[in-house]
Structure 1
Amino acid sequence: MPSATAPTDQPAARSTSPPTPAQPPTPHPRKADALTTPSATSLAAEREARGAGAVVVLDDEVHAARWVRKAHSTNPGAFASPGTGPLGHVVEGRVRMLPTAPRHAPLQAGGDPGRLEAARVALHVVTLEDDGAQLEELGTTHAGLVIAGFGVGYVPDVLAPRLGALAEHMPVVLTSRTGSGSVLRHTYNAPGSETDLRRRGLIDGGFLDPYKARSCSRCFWRQEQGATTSRKRLR
């Protein structure tokens, strides 16, 4: 009903409310209002969300009011939009709408096949106590590198300087090895964090999983656009 009666394209956002008798509080309450009300406010003011209609912000997920429903009787993350999924996410206070991802100018068709063959882009999945020793000769054998880091984009601190050194000579794209969700940009500041790695020159891979980021990087190199294009398009 709210979607049908909204007079403008400004999103009408509503956050979650405290637990009800149908959804009792967990042993470690998350203070839902404190977390989600700012998210709803951010979305209502976000130009990217215009035209979304009536939406609900639940656990930093943006759902269309017409599709969202309670999908679990006791789980704190009880709401879902079956068949469609969320419209977007709130990441570090910023709304990231999924169906309205920015449309970039298309790459030129064709390109140089020989350059594509030569565009060797490595994929390195970070592990515990990873010092990056196997990346030592990468600068002489590959044109780019995709890093699949822990969680929101974290690597062991001893690996960070080696990645920064590589980023001085080739595009190094930071993704999450979880395969779902976005890497962060400026939440954590410790050595090896996403903020530290971006400061060292790594490219934020956004919501792309490591495999798609690698494929995209090869296409950019085929067009002779390299790191500059990767930095603009990998979002």
Structure 2
Amino acid sequence: MTVRLLATGGTIASRLDPATGAVVPAVSPEDLLAAVPGLEALGPVEVDEIDRVNGWNVTPATMVRVARAARAALTEDGVDGVVVTHGTDTVEETLYLTDLLAGDATDRGAIVFACAMRAAGEVGADGPRNLLDAVRTALDPASRGRGALLCVNGELHAARWATKTDTTNVSTFRSPAAGPVGTMERERPTFRLPSPPRPATGADVDTAVALVKAYSGMDDRLLRWLVDVEEVHGIVLEGTGAGNVPGAVVPGIDHAVSAGVPVVLASRCWTGRTVPIYGGPGGGVTLEEHGIVRAGDLNGPKARLALMAALGVTRDVDALRDWFAGA
């Protein structure tokens, strides 16, 4: 059985530079594989190096490349699963966009992401074990049809829910809304939950989408600038609580909507859905009257990626509402 490795860099492919004391991308995919004891016994691993950058430098264009490469690999004869190595800072974003664009292809083979919090050569480096577990998961038939998965620290997380919660701890990844969908037990993945459903997507993705975090005292100038100067095609507004923003932001929402720029409302809370509860300036009920689209339980970064994918399908606001209802 054969796995296709899509390498993008990250801490898992980094080493400490003794001259500067900084961790930098320095490990080739081939050297990364060679450092994992027992990996060769699982079968061939074919390498496709997409990039070699830190997680914070991964762009939406690179994320789309990863998703399309994963999907294409699973259409090839002889490829039984895909593993993606990635930096932890944005792995949840590439993971989720890959799930949206290629999750339906996992009926043919699993797509599993692996990452690390400690660089190669550090005491207790977690990369080799995470990579070994990811390959095992990608080859296991029980992993198929579950969309893109994150395999880290002995846990398996669904793309929709996984998020980085600590700056340096190796157990940083959590799924606050549901917990891990599975764990590694005796060298095999064991699943306890199904992965959540995903809406239909097309081949096109519109990356001209901005993410704005609401804050106390905020006004509408940033939204107006995004529409008039940056000419974005969509805005995700990360509000407070169940989906509220300062009242002074509402004219900016009106300006965007009247210009044909959809505004999707997410929440900065870890769990829960955006729900119209409050009236008055900036309240959730009021925002619905001004044309916002609710992001459900997606956080801001994932709602941004979802809107990129959704705009590849439709630009009709009512259709976008239906799309996000299934996201």
Alignment TM-score, normalising by the size of structure 2 = 0.37
Given that 1:220 and 1:229 are in contact with CA atoms closer than 8 Å, whether structure 2 keeps it comes out as: no
Structure 2 CA distance for partners of 1:216 and 1:229, relative to 1, 3 Å = farther
Mapping of 1:59-74 within 5 angstroms? none
Counterpart CA distance in 2 for 1:205 and 1:99 is 21
**Shift in Å at residue 161 of structure 1?**
2.1
Correspondence for 2:224 among 114, 117, 136: 136
Counterpart CA distance in 1 for 2:282 and 2:195 is 31
Which one-letter code corresponds to 2:289 in the other structure? R
Which residue of structure 2 lines up, in the alignment, with residue 208 of structure 1?
298
Which one-letter code corresponds to 2:261 in the other structure? M
Kindly report the root-mean-square deviation, in angstroms, between the aligned alpha carbons of the 2 structures: 2.7
Correspondence for 2:273 among 177, 182, 200: 182
Deviates more, 1:193-202 or 1:162-171: 162-171
Which residue of structure 2 lines up, in the alignment, with residue 153 of structure 1?
243
Which one-letter code corresponds to 2:290 in the other structure? R
- Give the unaligned 5+ runs of structure 1: 1-83, 86-97
**Shift in Å at residue 102 of structure 1?**
6.5
Which one-letter code corresponds to 1:163 in the other structure? I
Given that 1:164 and 1:202 are in contact with CA atoms closer than 8 Å, whether structure 2 keeps it comes out as: no
Mapping of 1:62-101 within 5 angstroms? none
Given that 1:123 and 1:147 are in contact with CA atoms closer than 8 Å, whether structure 2 keeps it comes out as: yes
Given that 2:314 and 2:320 are in contact with CA atoms closer than 8 Å, whether structure 1 keeps it comes out as: no
Which residue of structure 2 lines up, in the alignment, with residue 219 of structure 1?
309
List per-residue Cα deviations over 1:130-163 (Å, max 9, x = no partner).
Answer: 0132222222310000000011111111111221
Counterpart CA distance in 2 for 1:182 and 1:173 is 13
Counterpart CA distance in 1 for 2:251 and 2:315 is 25
Aligned partner of residue 137 in structure 1, secondary structure: helix
Counterpart CA distance in 2 for 1:99 and 1:183 is 23
Given that 1:119 and 1:222 are in contact with CA atoms closer than 8 Å, whether structure 2 keeps it comes out as: no
Mapping of 1:223-234 within 5 angstroms? 223-225=313-315, 227-234=317-324
Alignment TM-score, normalising by the size of structure 1 = 0.50
Structure 2 CA distance for partners of 1:229 and 1:142, relative to 1, 3 Å = same
Structure 2 CA distance for partners of 1:137 and 1:123, relative to 1, 3 Å = same
Which residue of structure 1 lines up, in the alignment, with residue 211 of structure 2?
123
Which one-letter code corresponds to 1:176 in the other structure? S
Correspondence for 2:201 among 107, 123, 130: 107
List per-residue Cα deviations over 1:63-114 (Å, max 9, x = no partner).
Answer: xxxxxxxxxxxxxxxxxxxxx65xxxxxxxxxxxx9796664x223x23xxx
Identity of aligned residues (%): 28
